[in-house]
């Protein structure tokens, strides 16, 4: 029996196993900075699956290893989730982990513990096939991504010195092969006014009006941003995500205001360029435009942070890793995968965006289910991804052929 056929059979045989592991994770709420219990469960599942080594890093991410080849290939899933939001919009308990109708239901099934469950199954398959190829395989179950994408891998690369040669993100891609996405940054825009009594606003200078004009200027900037030269990643965007104004009282002209911006960066756009654009469009109304820092203590007590800037990344369509991904999928499913990119941002901003490590994405579930009520992932997708992750190392060992 050829290897691809064997892997397909094993992934199908472990279909219920994968769904049950995902269900067990979903039942454990794991918001950013509070992932300890789900990480303990993942360590248990990886140990039972037979991984060669399972450990936890200083920030709290689980690192599971198979093999000891000279190359380093990492598969990554973040295991923190956003909160459920308005419970009235959910048909089921967000943490039920219910398996029904060919799907696993609950918060995190798509974004993105589904990828984690498929990784565990792939590791089990590889161990049962006695994988001893040219790659050391790292399966990372990372923390704090929802708060600060890439921070966990900044820590792994810069503090733990785990530097893979190749990287696979298992964020939801509808089982398509992704080779890039836009970067992003956050900006804080401050406005100053002069307070006066609300009965005589002409005596003051209203910071709220400055912020309002600036917000409309951002609407114009968003319309005028241009796509990248090959139109693969598309245009950048800017969104006013928060606007506040305040003064001495409710009966006074506001003397301070703030706008918070979410800026998505296409290829060739930098933090410096984005800040300069905002200052240009806001003009004299804005007092300052700054890039905030993220600072948070992880569940293991580590304090770690970074500026809220996440570089754009993409790799060429003919890169060896893209070609290996296409070949792995072709061997399994007798057709080529769709090659595309994400709309949102992932841990690859640190791995490929900042550290230039070649990266692809392939994950279960659809982007439009992320951060939404009634989140659910198809078990079919979990099976496909389990097989793909198990197949890819063999293709890479053969230089893109198997």
Place of tokens 């029904």: 100
User: Token pair for residue 377?
Assistant: 């992932």
Residue 239 to residues 185, 215, 262, 275, 360: CA-CA distances in angstroms? 11, 9, 5, 14, 27
Of 151, 125, 154, 119, the C-alpha closest to 138 is: 119
DSSP state letter for 285: G
| Identical topology for domains 3-182+312-397 and 183-297 | no
380 is catalytic: no
Q: Which of 35, 76, 113, 145 is catalytic?
A: 145
Residue 363 to residues 40, 77, 306: CA-CA distances in angstroms? 23, 9, 27
Residue 33 to residues 43, 288, 297, 301: CA-CA distances in angstroms? 17, 31, 7, 10
Span 332-341, average pLDDT: 98
Task: Please tell me whether the overall predicted TM-score, pTM, comes out greater than 0.75 for this model.
Answer: yes
Q: Which of 35, 57, 76, 80 is catalytic?
A: 80
145 is catalytic: yes
Q: 366 in helix, strand or coil? A: coil
301 conformational bin, left if phi > 0, alpha if psi -120 to 50, beta if neither = left
Taking a C-beta distance cutoff of 8 angstroms, is the pair 90, 105 a contact? no
In this prediction, residue 399 has a pLDDT band, given cuts at 50, 70 and 90, of confident
**Using CA atoms, how far apart are residues 322 and 320, in angstroms rounded to an integer?**
6
Q: What is the homologous superfamily of the domain 3-182+312-397 according to CATH?
A: Zn peptidases (3.40.630.10)
pLDDT in tens, 214-249: 999 999 999 999 999 999 999 999 999 999 999 999
CATH of 183-297, picked from 3.40.50.720, 3.40.50.150, 3.40.50.300, 3.30.70.360, is 3.30.70.360
Taking a C-beta distance cutoff of 8 angstroms, is the pair 200, 369 a contact? no
Angle between helices 3-13 and 114-128 (to 10 degrees): 130
pLDDT of amino acid 1: 59
| Mean confidence (pLDDT) of the chain | 97
Q: What percent of the chain has pLDDT over 90?
A: 98
Would you list the domain boundaries of the chain? 3-182+312-397, 183-297
pLDDT in tens, 27-70: 999 999 999 999 999 999 999 999 999 999 999 999 999 999 99
């Amino acid at each position: 029996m050829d290897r691809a056929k064997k892997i397909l059979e094993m992934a199908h045989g472990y279909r219920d196993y994968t769904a049950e592991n995902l269900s067990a994770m979903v039942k454990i709420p794991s918001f950013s900075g509070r992932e300890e219990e789900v990480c303990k469960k993942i360590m248990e599942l990886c140990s039972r699956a037979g991984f060669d080594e399972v450990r936890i890093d200083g920030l709290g991410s689980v690192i599971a290893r198979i093999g000891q080849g000279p190359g380093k290939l990492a598969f990554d899933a973040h295991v923190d989730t956003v909160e459920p939001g308005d419970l009235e919009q959910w048909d089921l308990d967000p943490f039920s982990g219910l398996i029904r109708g060919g799907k696993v239901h609950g918060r995190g099934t798509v974004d993105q513990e589904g990828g984690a469950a498929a990784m565990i199954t792939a590791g089990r398959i590889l161990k049962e096939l006695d994988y001893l190829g040219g790659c050391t395989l790292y399966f990372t179950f990372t923390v704090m991504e929802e708060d600060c994408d890439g921070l966990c891998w900044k820590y792994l690369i810069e503090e733990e010195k785990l530097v893979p040669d190749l990287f696979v993100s298992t964020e939801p891609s509808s089982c398509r092969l992704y080779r890039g996405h836009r970067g992003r940054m956050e900006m804080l825009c401050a406005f100053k006014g002069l307070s006066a009594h609300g009965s005589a606003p002409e005596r003051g200078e209203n910071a709220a009006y400055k912020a309002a004009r600036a917000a409309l200027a951002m609407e114009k900037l968003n319309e005028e941003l241009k796509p990248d030269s090959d139109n693969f990643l598309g245009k950048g965007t800017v969104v006013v995500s928060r606007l506040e104004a305040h003064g001495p009282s409710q009966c006074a002209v506001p003397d301070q205001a703030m706008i918070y911006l979410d800026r998505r960066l296409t290829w060739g756009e930098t933090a410096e360029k984005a800040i300069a654009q905002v200052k240009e469009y806001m003009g004299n109304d804005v007092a300052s435009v700054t890039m905030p820092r993220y600072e948070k203590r992880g569940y293991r007590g580590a304090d770690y942070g970074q500026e809220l800037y996440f570089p754009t990344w993409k790799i060429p369509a003919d890169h060896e890793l893209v070609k290996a991904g296409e070949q792995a999928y072709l061997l399994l499913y007798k057709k080529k995968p769709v090659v595309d990119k994400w709309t949102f941002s992932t841990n690859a901003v640190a791995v490929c965006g900042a550290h230039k490590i070649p990266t692809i994405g392939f994950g279960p579930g659809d982007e439009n289910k992320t951060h939404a009520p009634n989140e659910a992932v198809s078990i079919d997708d979990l099976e496909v991804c389990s097989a793909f992750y198990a197949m890819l190392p063999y293709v890479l060992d053969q230089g893109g052929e198997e």
